[in-house]
Each structure stands twice: as C-alpha cells, then as structure tokens.
Structure 1
Amino acid sequence: MTLTTDSAGAATPYAPGERGAVVVYRGATLFDGTGAPPRPATSIVVDGPVIRAVVPDGDPAAAVDGAEVVDLTGRFVTPGLIDAHQHLATPPDRPAAEAVLRRLAHSGVTGVRDMADDLRQIGDLARAALVGEIAAPDIHYAALMAGPGFFDDPRTHQVTRGAVPGEVPWMQAVTDTTDLPIAVALARGTHAAAIKVYADLEAPLVAAVTAEAHRQSIPVWAHAAVFPATPGQVVAAGVDTVSHVTLLAHETATRPLTSYRDKPPVDHASLVTGADGRLDALFARMREQGVVLDATASLWSSAELAGDERADANTELAVALTAQAHRAGVELATGTDYETPPGDPFPALYDELAFLVRRCGIPERDVLRSATLVGARSAGVGHLTGSVEPGKLADLAVFTRDPLADIGHLRTITLTVKRGRRLARADYSTDLPRETR
C-alpha cells in the first residue's frame, strides 16, 4: 500500500520534553518522596523527559553548558502527585474527562489510576496524554473482572454501549469454567495496566484470577471485599492493591458474605475505636505482603454523598480504619473515586490529602509520600516515577508555600512538570489549552 499523503497527525503541544534539551531547576527545597528529609537549595537537572541529576545548587553537575535555568528559590518541590482512584469514562464524556484531566495536570498531578471504565475511550485518552495532544496526567487503567451477577449493574451497560456487558475484554464475567489464560490475555490486549477484581466472586476464583494475572505479568487491583470473598481472602489471594477502606470492615462480619448487593451491616460502634484485633491481623498481613491500601477515605464526606446518616457513619469509619492501617504500617495510596464540581479550581485529590492529615491524623510527610511514591507503586510505575531521583521521569510539582508545614499549601501550586513539559498554573485560569515549555 502506498500513501499518497503524509499527515503529521494531531498537534502535540504538551508532548514530553526532548532529549538534549536540558533544564536546571535550581534553588528549591525538595521533598523527593523517598522518605529522606527535605533538601534545601537543591538543583534538579532535567534532560528532556528524564531527571539527570539531583544535587546541591553549587555542585558542578548543576552547571550544564547551554542549559535553561529555572530559578525556584523560595519554592517547594515534590514529585508529581498521583490520584490512585479515578473513573473518567462512566459513562464516556470526552469533554468532561478532558476538563478533569486538564485541572489535574495544572494542579501538580502527573499520574492517575483509572479503576475500570469504557476502555475504548480511556485508551485513547491515555494515548493523547502520553503523546501530548492534551494536558493530562499519565493514565494507568484497569480491565475489570467480576461474577456474572454483577453485570446487571447499570454502570456496566454505560461502559459497554454497542456490546454486551461481561462479554468484552475490558469488562469480563468470569466463572469456574472460564478459560482464565484467555480472559487475562484479552484484558492485557486492551493495554490495561492491571486486572480489577470487583464483585460476586468466591475466594478460590479470586485466587485463580490473581495467579493467572501474575503469571502473565499483570498486577491485580481488587475491591477490599469482593462478596462473597472476604477482605482476608482477597489479601490471601495475593492481590497487589485493595480499594475502599470501609469495605475492610466486612472482615468482622458476623455472617458469611453473599453478594455485592447483599452487604451485611457492620458494627460501626465497635469499629470506630480503631482498635479491632481482627483488622490488626489483616493489616499485618497486608504489610507483610506489601499490599497497598487505596483508602478513598474522604469519599463519604464528598459533596455528592455527604449529609445523610449513612454517609456520616461511613466517614467516621473511614477515619478510624485508615488511621489504624497507618499505625499498622500499611502503605496507603491516595485515591479519590470522586471529583470536585467543574467550577472548583482544585481537584478532589487535595481534599483527600487534607482529610488524611486533618481527620486521620497522618503526618504531612507520610501523606505526601502516599501521594507520590506509594501512588506510583500502586499503579505499577514506581520504577519510573513517584520520586525525584536520577533516571526517573521529570514529574514535579512546585509550590510557593511548604505543603509539609500545612497540607493546605497544596493550593499554592504554581507549576507542574510532567515528563519534562512545563504546565504553569497561571495558564489554567484561562481554561484554554495553551502550549507551555
């Protein structure tokens, strides 16, 4: 086949930086995400999309001939933030999704986990974000597996329009008779970063899905309770992350779990003490296995859900169990599972981080590590991003005031660097896609 025309394709104003274009960000106080204390007067040498060196300002490695120098004296730098629980296409709405992504990118967020959606649209959004057609974080997304009973849920119809829920590669119904090697291969064919295990699966099937996914080198992101599989059984299956801290309460259920629609009540009064031995044992196993908890702790206090008795009770439960998990040494990722209204200048991730500090009593340094390196690990990309180190992607967030002193200082964001491409916060106020460098 001979092409008679040659098109460059869509414009990519937000493309990653190009190798050989060196930028030195100097003078900053750096929280690098590794657990090390903040480093004042630090230079970050960026070569295209990648960090070349992180050194004191006076180090010879920071003096690169021909490099552009960006003076960040008096500013505070963290790794790019990660929202570990987003839904960007349930139902698909491309303009709305791009608006959410644009706000995230201009708020210091350089990565998100999309926890199962219509992957026909999510795949294209992920591609557009990666090549720079749109201002957006990198998107790491999951293909979902659940029991057949779950696919009466109207959301499954929203994300499979034109096809049959449960019979598409990104949203599969699985049973004891499913050919799991084929099912996992189909999910991987969507370019998904993980398999999401959701609902209506017995413990042996959760374990079988997880084992096959790992055999094919793809992680498993699970709901903390899969009904009838309990939280303990989900963790024992070897999953990589679990979502929704309030679902962990079902580890204390007084009757067997049955299905996603038939969740038994939990004893809020005893659990809000944050000192339940059954959960301590579960958290100890999570810590030993390295299972990350995507707590979505502030979800029930969001504007959409807050205000009724059930939401208030679940908020208090989330506070107690998240604090208990943190004390037990469980790694927390900062997912939201909701967004602030379109007119809000800042994303829900800021509210989640503030909730973890102010309601759950977790120190700012731990919360920022959760929102950076742990978040990157939850998405399977901790080797690429999540900390400011040589060889990693140049994903940075720059603030005028120190978020380690007050988590509210996240709202002083002034610059995002994503894969070496600069996104000035000032450009977001116009809400127009503008090229920045």
Structure 2
Amino acid sequence: MPDESHGAPTPYAPPAPGAVTVYRGAIVFDGTDRPPRRAAIVVDGERIRHVVDETELPAVLPDGAETVDLDGRHVTPGLIDAHQHLATPPDRPRAEAVLRRLVHSGVTAIRDMADDVRQIGDLARATLVGEIPGPDIHYAALMAGPSFFDDVRTHQVTRGAVAGQVPWMQAVTPDTDLRIAVALARGTHASAIKVYADLDAATVAAITAEAHRQSIPVWAHAAVFPAGPREVVEAGVDTVSHVTLLAHACAAQPLTTYRDKPPIDYARLTAGDDPVLAELFALMRRTGTVLDATAALWASAEMTGGGPEAAERARQNSDLAAALTAQAHRAGVPIATGTDYETPPDDPFPALHEELAFLVDRCGLTPEDALRSATAVGARSAGAQQLRGTVEAGRLADFAVFDEDPLQDIKHLRTVHLTVKRGRRHARADFEAGR
C-alpha cells in the first residue's frame, strides 16, 4: 500500500490561498521608484494582493481577514543575499542555523553560488515547503576548466563521486557537448549555471549561449582566467561576482589561470577613475549585467584575522573593492548585495547587514540605493524579478518590518521586528528567545 502521509511537519509553510492578512499602519518603501508612503499590505496566502492607502481598505478587504497593526513601523521588500555558500563542505546544523538567522534578520531569499547540490537542493526544498525556517534558496550548478578541479573545495562538495564529473560540478573541455552539459545542470533543479574558472572567452560565450537557449541564466566570476572581465561581460552572462576581479581588465600581462593571477596596480585603481574600467562599466550598464560586488568581504574578520601580511592584503583589497564599487555605481551599473562570508554564529545579525553598511559608508551609495541593491537588484541577480524584490500586488509576500527607518540610517536594519516570507511571519523576538 502506498504511504499517504504528508511527510515531515511543515510549521513554517506558507499560508494557504484564501487566508488573508492585512498589515496596517506601516510606512512602506516598496523597492520601486515610488517614495515611501503610509500604506496597508493585503496578503492572500503567499502573495500580495493589494498595497493600498488605508482609506481604500474597505473596498478590497474580505470578511474575516486577520489584521496586524504595524504601529508606524517601516517596511521594505525582503532582503536578498546574492552570494552565499551553505554547503562547502556540507554541514547541515550550521546551514540551518545560518538560514534561521537570515530569515529572522529580514532576508527572504539568497543565491547559493555552487555547493554540494545534494544538500543544497534539500535545504531549498525544506525552506520552501516550511520544514525549517529560512529564505528561499536560488542555487547554481558550476562549470569550469578541468584544471580547476584540483581545488580542495570541489572535492568537499562531491564526496562519494568525482569532482568535474557530476551534474553540479562539471569540467568543460573542447569535447564537451554543451547541450548535454547544460541539460544535466538544469536537471539538478539549479536556478543558474555558474561559470567559475580556467575557461577561455570562446568557451564562456558558448556556455552562455547554450544556457540561454535552454532558458537558464548564467552567473560568472568577473574574471574567469584566461577569459577577462570584458570578455565575460561580452559573452552575455547575467551576473558577475567579486568586484576586485574586475581589476584584471587592466592587467599588464595576459591572463592565464585562476591560480596564477597577475599583480594588481592598487595605486592606479583605487583612484576610482580608471578609463579602462569606465569603458567596462559603460558596457555593463548597456547590457544590464548585474554586479554582485561582495564589497565588504575583504573587511570581514575572516579576511583580516590571519596575521600582519593577511591584514595588509585585506586592507588593499578592501580599498580596491570600495573604489571600484563606487565607480561602478556612479556609472549606473546595477549592484547586488552578495557577501561570500558569514558572521560568527554568536553574532546576532548576518553578514548581509555588513555588506549594506559597507556600500553606504565606503562606496557612496545612499541607504535607499543600498536597499534597492538588496531587494529589486538582488531579485534580478537571482533571475527572480517577476516573483520578488518589490512590495507590489502579485509578488510574493516577502517583506521586512523595522522599528526604525533604514532609509535614514542603514544601521537601523538591526531594529528588525518581523520578517514575512511567502506570507509566513517570522518574529525577531522568536529568534532572540531561541538563541
């Protein structure tokens, strides 16, 4: 006889269609070009049905709707971390703890940038159906040249198999049938293909063309070695990661491999007005290529804590990240808020809050710019702009509620009161009680 049970409990599942909740009394920054306004948000199941002036509520509110009074608090779209790694190597308890902290800190979606898909796929399912609390996970399958698969991380994420020979970690050679390779990557239920390293420009372009033909986005390192930044952008990738890798557009010698990067002229590039990069940023603006800057990464304790030499390297790269991100922003490049690290487990808030503060404090973005980067642009980076990133009718009911206005001070993100993810409430007080 078939087992007709419903499986594991789903205490964090989205509410069913027809379960209507109205959030009243909030000042709403909806992530579009519209200024913040006092409005009510009507949620039906996991979707936003209406965002209206309070005077319009009687005309749209069904009988029996639940009401939540937000008492003049501030609402933004749910935040998006565009660069996470939850399973390199796999560690389920740690990953669940990170996800729990994220969703209780206003984060409703992340991009996982290539890990062990066997675990990431299950985590994505578990947060989607509500077995565990956490943001939605948009994850990538990786492609790189064969020489990259000497990297120990590729073995950490393919234990029991062969790195480079599994659908989520594929080595690409001139003999690879890209139609099959892309189809295998899509079969992992990945949201995108990540192009990582040790591939030439023609191969990056061929992967991108085939991926787009099969309707899957391409996320790439900003330099793939030997493919340089301009070649990566010209290939048509959707998002590039790591702003400091853009410095290799100005390399004085040809790029070779990921492990053999040429030196960077920090003095030249930290001036923030390099003409070669100005041309590259103009190209990115024309093509709509999103920059996942990971700008605060080099200022993190993870990078600065390895002794004097590591601290100096981190300082140089942090200054470089700030200068290049600022130049990209001035040029109109869409910037997403990725982290590529996490704060320690005992920190009450995630690295994404540090990335947003770095963008404001070091890169010249206003709090409003930074919040759009973490919401509407973040959704673009994940290929999910039709679902999330703004507080509008028809979108997923993903939004964060703050006691103080983060548009006035980005540090007010630490006053998060409530996260609504797919219509399910995650109160910050519940997280604090469980720490």
State the TM-score, normalizing by the size of structure 1: 0.97
| Aligned counterpart, 1:58 | 55
Find the counterpart in structure 1 of residue 421 from structure 2. 418
Aligned to 1:18: 16
Aligned 8 A contact 1:196 1:222 in 2: yes
Q: Could you say which residue in structure 2 is the equivalent of 1:175?
A: 173
Q: 1:214 aligns with which of 212, 215, 222?
A: 212
Structure 1 residue aligned with 2:308? none
**Counterpart of 1:331?**
334
**Among 387, 390, 407, the residue aligned to 2:390:** 387
SS at the partner of 1:209?
helix
> What residue number does 2:189 align with?
191
C-alpha separation in 2, matches of 1:25 and 1:429: 23
Q: CA deviation at 1:64?
A: 3.0
Distance 1:6 1:125 in 2: 23
Q: Secondary structure at the match of 1:415?
A: strand
Distance 2:277 2:367 in 1: 24
State the partner residue of 1:435. Answer: none
CA deviation vs aligned residue, 1:247-288 (integer Å, no higher than 9, x gap): 000000000000000000010001001000100100011010
- Residue 295 of structure 1, aligned match among 269, 293, 296: 293
> Which deviations, in whole Å up to 9, do the C-alpha atoms of 1:6-58 show, x marking residues without a partner?
32210000001111110000110000001211112x10000010000000111
Q: Which moved more, 1:307-316 or 1:203-212?
A: 307-316
Q: CA RMSD in A?
A: 0.8
CA distance in 2, matches of 1:16, 1:331: 31
Distance 1:54 1:74 in 2: 16
Counterpart of 1:54, as a letter, is V
The letter of the residue matching 2:99 is L
Asked if structure 2 preserves the Cα contact closer than 8 Å seen for 1:44 and 1:62, the reply is no
Superposition deviation, residue 62 in structure 1: 5.0
Secondary structure at the counterpart of residue 304 of structure 1: helix
Give 1 or 2: higher helix fraction: 2
| Letter of the 1:45 counterpart | V
SS state at 2:27 partner: strand
Q: How many residues align?
A: 429
CA distance in 2, matches of 1:332, 1:223: 14
Give per-residue Cα distances to partners, 1:49-89, cap 9 Å, x unaligned: 00000001111345432111111121000000000000000
Deviation, 1:171, is 0.2
Aligned mates of 1:405, 1:366 — CA distance in 2: 12
Write the letter of the residue equivalent to 2:282: A
2:42, 2:61 within 8 Å by CA — same for their partners in 1? no
Q: Partner of 2:148: helix, strand, or coil? A: helix
Q: What is the 5 A alignment of 1:165-314? A: 165-306=163-304, 308-314=311-317
The residue aligned with 1:45 is: 42
- Partner of 2:369 in structure 1? 366
The separation in 1 between residues aligned to 2:141 and 2:434, in whole angstroms, is 31
- Matched AA of 1:400: D
Q: Which residue pairs with 1:377 in the alignment?
A: 380
Aligned partners of 1:238, 1:323: CA distance in 2, in Å?
A: 23
Partners of 2:75 and 2:236 in 1: how far apart?
Answer: 35
Q: Distance in 2 between matches of 1:97 and 1:35?
A: 35
**For residues 340-355 of structure 1, what are the structure 2 equivalents within 5 Å?**
340-355=343-358
Q: Secondary structure at the match of 1:58?
A: helix
Q: Which amino acid aligns with 2:360?
A: V
Deviation at 1:319, TM superposition (A): 0.5
1:366 shift after superposition: 0.7
Alpha-carbon distance between aligned partners in 1 of 2:217 and 2:365, rounded to the nearest angstrom:
27
> 1:176 Cα deviation (Å)?
1.3
| 2: CA distance, partners of 1:164 / 1:311 | 33
Q: What is the percentage of aligned positions where both structures have the same residue?
A: 73
Whole-angstrom CA distance in 1 between matches of 2:433 and 2:403: 20
Answer whether contact 1:43 1:62 (CA < 8 A) is retained.
no
Task: Give SS of 2:347's match.
Answer: coil
Secondary structure of 1:353's counterpart equals helix
Give the Cα–Cα distance (whole angstroms) in 1 for the partners of residues 37 and 288 of structure 2.
28
The DSSP-based 3-state class of the residue aligned with 1:217 is coil
